Structure 1
Amino acid sequence: MQQQHRDFQGATRTYRHVLELDPANKFAWYQLGIIAQANGNTSYARAAYDKALKIDPSFMSALFSEAMMLKSSDPDRSMRLLQRAAATAPKAASLHMQLGLLLAEKNRNDEAKDAFRRAVAADPALLSQVPERFRNAVSPSPTSSHAGSSR
């Protein structure tokens, strides 16, 4: 509740108290990362996300949050985090979209197409966000999961 009411100092104290009682509480570490990131303390945010991921290497929220935070400063690490997340959530459309965008920036076009295909398959509304040069390659086909629909 403290965090929802933007009492970040109070929420930070509460999460630290939780960690005194349960040092392996991935949710407390994750939320400390969210608060630190919101306050511009990216080094602490990254450390908190990493602690959450040491506890649960497939913790989707921490993988995605850290990846998005690092997208411009460390795109290679961001990509690795998104790839780990994609392995645990193959139908997470926004995750695949973000991965595709990073791969496209690195000119890893075949991998980018695959990520964009997965994103659009999970959420066809994302097609408009796929970079133009990839759209034809990733458009949902009439024989996909929408076969028989009146499109």
Structure 2
Amino acid sequence: MRRIWTGVGAALALAAGAVVWAVVTPSDPASNDTAFDNVNNDRLKTDALLESGLLLVRYQDIPNAKATFERVLTLDPKNKFAWYNLGVLAQNEGRRADARKAYDAALKTDSSYTSALFNKALLLKTSDPDEALRLLRRAVIVDPKASTAYFHIGETLAGKGQDKQAREAYRHAVELNASLRSQVPESFQESVDRSPAPNEDTEAAVNSETPDR
């Protein structure tokens, strides 16, 4: 199965089955005023380097893209975009420890950085499903329309045998993004094709830590 979560910026070439948010750049570009103090000059440099790194990714020049994002960090060691982009590159190269370190650094700067929460959750989905669920739930609190995060909540809950909560998460994912319907496992397809009953609470299913009885 090939699923790509698209975001702002250039998407990387992903291995089959990977779901990694795209490399991103800041959403608030630097001011166009002609006079800048030293801090703003550094901001301009970091933004320019981030854009350059994106272009290198588009041209599949990954070593130089990595070096460019690392240059950003010499100017701004807490730049969450640079850390996150390095995490994406590492994750797609299978360097899981490096990817986790990069996502952690991004989250240290911004604990509600949804992209980093999501990608870190994917790293831990198999080895530590409970922590992956915690991260995914944080992601959907920050972005309630994060359909793919809900999908992975469902997938992780299903893997833990919590089918009732998994059904709710799958259904909510499909309500937000109908294109995910075909990726819902067959055993859960019926649940995404019906409306929730009055006593069914999607938020409770997604946020509850209690296993099904």
TM range (shorter): 0.7 to 0.9
In the alignment, structure 2 segments of 5+ residues that lack a partner are: 1-54, 196-213
Summarize deviations over 1:82-101 as a string: whole Å, max 9, x none: 11111112122211111101
Distance 2:88 2:77 in 1: 17
Percent identity for Structure 1 against Structure 2: 47
CA deviation after TM superposition for structure 1 residue 70, in Å: 2.3
CA deviation after TM superposition for structure 1 residue 140, in Å: 4.4
Q: 1:74 to 1:17 in 2, by over 3 A?
A: same
Q: Which residue of 2 is the match for residue 145 of structure 1?
A: none
- Aligned equivalent of 1:70, options 124, 128, 134: 124
Q: Which residue of 1 is the match for residue 87 of structure 2?
A: 33
Amino acid in structure 1 at the alignment position of 2:106: A
Distance 1:90 1:140 in 2: 21
Please say if residues 64 and 82 of structure 1, whose CA atoms lie closer than 8 Å, have aligned partners that are also in contact: yes
Instruction: Tell me how many residue pairs correspond in the alignment.
Output: 141
CA deviation after TM superposition for structure 1 residue 139, in Å: 2.1
Please state if 1:103 is matched with 2:157.
yes
CA RMSD of aligned residues (A): 1.7
Q: 1:104 to 1:26 in 2, by over 3 A?
A: same
Distance 1:10 1:3 in 2: 9
Q: Which residue of 1 is the match for residue 140 of structure 2?
A: 86
Q: Could you say what secondary structure the match of 2:57 adopts? A: coil
Q: 1:76 to 1:21 in 2, by over 3 A?
A: same
Q: Which residue of 2 is the match for residue 15 of structure 1?
A: 69
Summarize deviations over 1:89-130 as a string: whole Å, max 9, x none: 212221111110100111222321221121111123323332
CA deviation after TM superposition for structure 1 residue 67, in Å: 1.5
Q: Which residue of 1 is the match for residue 170 of structure 2?
A: 116
Tell me the TM-score normalized by structure 2. 0.61
Summarize deviations over 1:20-68 as a string: whole Å, max 9, x none: 1111110000011111122221101100001101111111111111222
Please say if residues 2 and 8 of structure 1, whose CA atoms lie closer than 8 Å, have aligned partners that are also in contact: yes
Tell me the TM-score normalized by structure 1. 0.83
